[in-house]
Chains A and B, each alone.
Chain A
Amino acid sequence: MRASDQTFYDKRLLHLWMAAASLALLAATLWMVAADHRREWKQHQRTFRDRIEPWATEAQIVQERSREFLAREEELSAALAEARAMVPPSELIERFGKELESEAASLESGPPDLDELRRAYDALAAEPSIAARDALMEQLGEFTAAATLRRQNAQRRLRFRRAEFDEARTYYETAGGEGASQAALEKTQAKVERAADDVTRLTAELQTAAAHCDALDAVVREITEEEDAARNALADHRATLDRLDRNLAAQQTSLGKRMLRLPLIDAFGRPLAIDQTWLPELTIDYNFRQVARFDRCATCHEGIDHNAPGRADQPAFNMPRELTVRLATPRQAPDPPSLEDVYGLVLAERGILDPDVATIVRIAPKSLAADAKLCVGDAIAGVDLAARPSSQQPARPPSMSRLEVEKALLEEIEWGTPATLHIRRGLPQPFCSHPRLDLFVGSLSPHPKSEFGCTICHDGQGSATEFKWASHTPNDRAQRNRWRADRDWFRNPHWDFPMMAARFVESRCLRCHHRVTDLEPSRRFPDPPAPKLLAGYQLVRTLGCFGCHEINGIDPSGRSIGPDMRLEPSAPEAGGVPHPGTMRKVGPTLRDTADRLEAPFLHDLIGNPTRVLPTARMPRFYGLHEHLDGGSLDDARRFEAVEIRAVAEYLLAAGQPVEPVPEPAGVTETPLVERGKRVFQIQGCLACHRHTDFPKGQGTQGPDLSNLATKYTGESARRWLVGWVRDPSHYSPRTLMPNSLLAPVLLAGDARSVTDPAADVAAYLLASPSDYRPRATPALVERDLDELALMHLGKQFPLKQAAEYLRNGIPQSMTDRASGDAAMLLGEMSVEKKLRYVGSRTIRKRGCYGCHDVPGFEQAQPIGPELSAWGRKQESLLAFEQIDQYLDKTAAEKAADGDPDGDPDDDPDRDFFTAALRGHRREGFIWHKLRRPRSFDYVKVHNKPYNQRLTMGRFDLNQQQIEAIATFVLGLLAEPPAEKYVYQGDVRRRAIAEGRKLLDKYACAACHVLEMERWQFEFDPDEFFGPPATEEYDFVKPLVTPRQTAASLQTDLRGLGHAEVTGMPRGDATGRLLEDEDDDGNPLFFFTLWEPAVINGSVWTVGGAEVMISGPRVTGKRPPLGGALARLLYPDVLAEARASGSSTSEVEALGWVPPSLVNEGARVRPQWLHDYLLQPTAIRPAAVLRMPRYNMSPDEAGKLVDYFAAMAGAEFPYSSHRRGRSANLAAAEALRPGRLDDAMRVLIDRQTYCAKCHLIGEFGPGGENRTILAPDLERVGRRIRPDYVRRWLASPKSVLPYTAMPVNFPPTGDPLGQDLFPGSSMEQLDAVVDLLLNYDWYVRSRTKTENLVPPVVVEDESTEGGTDE
């Protein structure tokens, strides 16, 4: 074709295509920009910055600009105006004039022109006004300005001249060295001298000018003194408001900011920007490497770290919740009615997020609204009025406008009856602040946002900036549905660390808090930081999950990776293991089963533990058949019967008989049930055990002993029980049960009858009636036994051979091949042998040795999968199998039975887990594994040999417990963060966390109070009076900082003060709280302080007056930690003492029960406590029970000692004893000779002083009245810390409020006991303290060793045959 203009395609068409394509590109570009502008986080930021933040600031401003504030401001402004029109005294003007004149004279210039000044003053004096005064000030200002100018000039001249002088001098000083001529040097010297003269002159000039200037200024200052003060007062008054105004101005969007937020421009990162926390050491495991964490959560959650004004630990924006509030109304309509006048309530012009919603912006102090505890920011959703019939009450309206609220509360209201307000408090996500700013996110919290970010606790995709990509996880189905509908939420399978559902959020604490117990509530964080996790930990600990499922917290390199809950190694092994486990097996030893249990009972127990012992913790292994049907069910029935029998047979046969504990000598009385009951009640058994005879006992450490008679039937069992009560560790060297040191005692009132308390207790326990009868044991079906045995043996030998062996036994020639359990079958065959063999195989299969010490299984390994990293276990590795079908089946069955349990929709928790289970997620798996452990075998059993079925037993757990355990197990990640993040705590916190584990292990808190009760209450500052004045030694008085005093005076909006007290409310003889009635008819409680408290500006000391607290004013109670047994025993002990005619007070009887260990660490010396824990001795003769002896290692004792010292803030692990230094003693002796001798006289005085109650070695008050007996003083120096002894003697009640010890050395008034120890109280006190602390030394110094040497008898020399040389 020739070249031509002719084109192949139609040009017009092409142009049209081009235009369309270009438009499409434009549209796509605009779409892109719009998509960027509308990104979720930008919208959130705009909302937060345009609506929420300014609203909050405005609310603060409104709150600040109260009427009182405005009135005060007016007052201050008036004062300022007045000050500004004041006529200064004429002397000042005169002085000013004189100063000017004298200066002029000294300068020899003409006299100053003061006429103008005088005229101005006269004008002001004649008619005081601000203008006139300003004119005067202007005149004064002119003169002061002139003086200042002169001073500045002088200053400048001096500076120049001094520089010249320095230059000349330096030249002179260095020129010589550089070889300048003598003449040149001299010339320079002359120059230096001239300059020096000038400098001197100019300096004098400057000083004169400065003095003049200062004099003038002083006069002016004096004139303006009042004015300045008024101005400052006004500025101070307005300071907060000014700051808020500035904040508001900064928050409001200016035109420039608006421009920057336009589409496309806002892509450049200001002011809307991604808020990113960079955490280089809190890495994420990306498999190939550890990658720094970037948390961008705060991009949307902008308010997460905002705290309430003035409260660093309170969130600024609460989580959304709805509540109803009762708002009282005045009896009559005030005039004019306005919300502010009537209720002290101001509604904002606009709501926070929705402008039309009535939102509270200000609450007046001491108003009705304040009394109703309304808060700024509350949205009023509805008002129920008594006046309106309930049919007209809006049923939870979505919201109300301002006008509607005003109408309802001011017009429709019936005055005098309260209105009910439906309140919506808080903001929806993502705008709320963290609810626990005291613990998290806040800059003052232990986990500030900048150091920890968010995803280290919550997990989730921290880099995401969109809701659905952040891997949020809903907490229940309702939330999930809401998210799906509103937020496009979906479960992203491609992020390995989805956020934890809110219900499990505590599980992540374990990542860093490997000790777990450091998460218990403490003084700093009294609200439990992780209650669910701790509950889970305690369950795992008490149920012994770790027996089968290893929870290893230490990796091979010795690094801590999580909580370590491994079993203790078998004793001989311990030496070789670098980091041995520490957990004790939770079940009793089965070594001596044959001594105490009989076969029928054992069958029942193994078959279904809770049927026999309702409180048994042992899981149920047999009879779990819901998932079985047909042949599999038949198999289960047949073989389970055989297994139960076989295990019992094995346990009864394999035991090693333990030599019984020898009977104590000299017992004359036969055991008596009543005596035993008394011993059981008093001697501390109830601390760990329960018994139906004592329904108040709540001990859970040990088993319930009510039905012991069902368990122990024979004579050998009785003997065993007596021995066990006497010395448990004789039978089980590692038992947790302590030795109660029950020695034979004399029967009261009978010097010859000796009883054995252990035998009495055993008699009592076995005497309880029991309606339990063992079920008839079904006859053993030998065919089933053979089949089962063959199944086991067939694994080791060829089937044919195995069958042959089972018929005739394994021949001895096969000894070397018949290893393990098969060795039992060597030699002649018998049914018992087969049973034992099957029993042993069963124990191995079911892992009984995880909880029990079973003979023959010392080296066996745990059977369950390890849990150390279960929280990260791949979900695809969990065998969900036929679980959906199983659920369908059970749901159908339950629906058919009409069981509501079958419908999961009614319980959000169950529903959550069911959904998780069906979604094949970990949470669901563990939930169902704990509920129905065998259900995962559903249908699968049809093709599984009996021995390969799932073996986990079923625990009796409720939904809450399962969730707690799941929280703990899900937290086991074995992903420790960088070293510095793994929580170590300081030495004290570490000691406390370690100690708490031991407190749990040995149940110390069952007997002893470890922390006192704490009450929070509010009070009216005008009605709450301080304590009566008491006199104390200075060193006893509590230290109180001015800040504490100021804090105690603060009041809330209702005008009420708040206080917290620690100690115990006074109770009566039965342990019930004593109460009185106050003026309003409310109960009034008497609270004995155990810690000094600052209330309403005054200091309440320990041992002083009790705090009276009105019942309705109590806002919070924290129960005491521990001491249940003490509380349980107290009424009985007291009643018994009263019955025997003693007249002790209620308070004193507290000294007879297990003592409170609050502050124990400050009381006793570490070494003593350590030894005492290992080998307890009697201290207080009055106590009704003794501290038992535990199987505690010295290491554990040391940890407990450290715990107590750390809790009390005392020195540890060692303590010093300055008072024992002989130099100190000698110096004191020199000042007052004979002081220790005199002190000794005080000590042994039986009339009024120490020996009246105390033993001193063998010397004591005499008589056996235990109620007044007090501890032996001989050992005080070794037992008690020196400072404590001094404080105790000075003011016993300030240390132990319930003590019966009197004040022997009164701090004021005349000193007592001048006949024994002449001197001041302080001298007496110090001398007695020194004596007590150095008692051994003192006594030694009074005896001579040579007195103890027997005199040498000189024999006759002749008989001996002298050898002189």
Chain B
Amino acid sequence: MHTDPSEFLETVATPLGWFYVIGGAMNVGAAVYAGRGKKFVWTAVWLTVSAAFALLGTASFAGRPLILPEGLKSAIDGLLNPVSFIGGSFVVFLVLYLGRRFFVLPAVAWTGLNVSLLLMGTSMTDPEFAAIVTKADNVPIVAMVYLLGLFTYLAAAQAVRNDRRMLDGLPPVEEQYKGKVLAWPDLVYIELICMILLTVLLVVWSLTLRAPLEQPANPVVTPNPSKAPWYFLGLQELLVFSDPWLVGVAVPCLIVFGLAAVPYLDRNPRGSGYYTIDQRKFAYLVFQFGFLLLWVLLILVGTFMRGPNWNFFGPYEVRDPHKVAALTNVKLSEYFWVILLGRGLPQVPEGAGAIVRLGHILWREIAGVVPLAVYFVVLPPVLGRTLLRKFRRRMGFGRYTLMALLLLMMMTIPLKIILRWTFNLNYIVSIPEYLLNF
């Protein structure tokens, strides 16, 4: 759909104005809050920010919202290529984790929110970005980004506070709430109120946003891109990297299995009933890595970065179905046999018996099979002796091995993604004869 840019701005200007007004109001709230806490510097800061938002809002209402300069947009588009986006996300994750004590400071977090609002508001003047964000389908995803931010922040802030208290020898904050409360009104009444409020939310939502029905499905003309429901977009993203039955069937099963196994693997009582990071660094990191980076981030990639033909697009890039991306990928076996050794791929003899064939296949894929074997067989004991010595000792051989295998399994996914984007590596092990491409 092509739209006239000026017309597009007209349609988007007024809602943006309201968006900025809300942003400004939020900052007024923050200023008041800071004032009550006698932090008058911050009151002044937030009032200034609020005034800035008011200015932006006025400009929007006047039909001239602040627009991201084209140069910046293309710079962002260029920056957000797969490698830097995925790699950068890992880095950001690490920075956030390491600097958590800084980032949970209210002023820092609030500044982060303001920046994100500003970025969102200015980005909305881009038709491509706006089209994605305002699509009725994507409302939950946009909401998720902010809600996830909020809850991650909440948990981290409380954990940091507890960690600090415990360093000072104090019990965690939650300690004071130990005991029992009444079902009515402390539980059921609140649930009732929540129920009513949620009903209100649903009614209002249904009145204001139409069900995003599209045209009747046509087997000949599938939507381009065809996207899974938003909560499965992460899995769909994985399809780029491996065979469907592996990442579409085996991996989800393993995720379910792994999650079910967590209570049996992790019997560490620390951190139960209160927020902490310091006491559960490994568990925290593993969970946040798996959830935020391997699940949520991939959903965001699927939503915001994937366009027609499942090509990777920058957030402001025109979703041109005719865009062609140079995606020539090479299998590891080819790297090994053809490029490194300079000879052809070993041929699997036609009409040979199954075992002979399998032998030939394994020989062909030797470059992938061996590292994989090392990864899964050698790495757990090695890790158990070095990095994870503590865990091995505490958990015993069986539980440790299971945990290590699950962990390594999880880590194959980012590894595979990185290998693909950096070395154009198609498959580590490619056995199309048995639909086994990994």
Contact = CB atoms under 8 A, between A and B. Distances in A.
Do A and B associate with each other? Answer: yes
Interface stretch (A14-22, A81-89, A1097-1105, A1348-1356): A14-22
B186 A7 contact: yes
Interface in B170-196: 179-182, 185-186, 189-190, 192-193, 196
9 shortest interchain CB distances as A-B pairs: A286-B216, A287-B218, A1-B179, A21-B196, A8-B181, A28-B203, A494-B214, A8-B186, A24-B200
B328 interface: no
A58 to B, nearest CB: 39
Nearest to A28: B203
Contacts of A919: 1-3
B213 A287 contact: no
Contacts of A11: 185
A863 to B, nearest CB: 23
Interface residues of A, number: 32
B97 to A, nearest CB: 34
Interface stretch (A29-37, A369-377, A630-638): A29-37
A22 B195 CA distance: 10
B207 A32 contact: yes
A9 B220 contact: no
A920 B3 CA distance: 10
B221 interface: yes
B203 A29 contact: yes
13 contacts: A7-B186, A9-B186, A21-B196, A24-B196, A25-B199, A25-B203, A31-B203, A32-B207, A287-B217, A287-B220, A494-B215, A876-B224, A920-B1
Given A28-B200, A288-B219, A496-B215, A14 B189 contact: yes
B98 interface: no
A9 B185 CA distance: 8
Given A9-B190, A21-B197, A31-B207, 11 more contacts: A7-B182, A18-B189, A18-B196, A21-B200, A24-B196, A287-B219, A496-B215, A496-B218, A874-B221, A884-B2, A920-B1
B192 A18 contact: yes
Nearest to A1: B179
B273 interface: no
Most chain A CB atoms below 10 A, which of B179, B180, B185, B186: B185
A495 interface: yes
A18 B197 CA distance: 9
B346 interface: no
A16 to B, nearest CB: 10
Chain B interface, >50% SS class: loop
B216 A287 contact: yes
B200 to A, nearest CB: 5
Given A17-B193, A22-B196, A24-B200, A7 B185 contact: yes
A493 interface: yes
A918 interface: yes
Interface in A1243-1263: none
Interface of B: 1-4, 179-182, 185-186, 189-190, 192-193, 196-197, 199-200, 203-204, 207, 213-221, 224, 321
A178 to B, nearest CB: 74
Given A32-B207, A287-B218, A25 B179 contact: no
Interface in A883-920: 884, 918-920
Interface string A281-307: 000001110000000000000000000
Interface string A485-505: 000000101111000000000
Given A32-B203, A287-B216, A287-B217, A493 B193 contact: no
Contact of B213 (A17, A18, A494): A494
Interface string A866-891: 00000000101000000010000000
Nearest to A11: B185
A1094 B249 CA distance: 85
Contacts of B189: 14, 18
B321 A876 contact: yes
B41 to A, nearest CB: 32
Given A18-B193, A491-B1, A920-B2, A496 B216 contact: yes
Contacts of B219: 287-288
A788 B224 CA distance: 39
A24 B200 CA distance: 7
A25 B204 CA distance: 10
A448 B115 CA distance: 62
A127 B306 CA distance: 105
B11 to A, nearest CB: 9
Nearest to A27: B200
Contacts of B214: 494
A15 to B, nearest CB: 9
A31 B1 contact: no
Contacts of B204: 28, 31
Contacts of B196: 18, 21-22, 24-25
B217 A288 contact: yes
B190 A14 contact: yes
Nearest to B218: A287
Contacts of B181: 7-8
Contacts of A29: 203
B224 to A, nearest CB: 7
B1 A493 contact: yes
A914 to B, nearest CB: 11
B340 to A, nearest CB: 32
A35 B203 CA distance: 12
A905 to B, nearest CB: 13
A492 to B, nearest CB: 9
Nearest to B201: A28
Contacts of B218: 287, 496
A8 B182 contact: yes
Contacts of A35: 207
B321 A1 contact: no
A480 to B, nearest CB: 10
B193 A288 contact: no
A288 B219 CA distance: 8
Contacts of A21: 193, 196-197, 200
Interface string A1108-1138: 0000000000000000000000000000000
Nearest to A494: B214
Interface in A447-491: 491
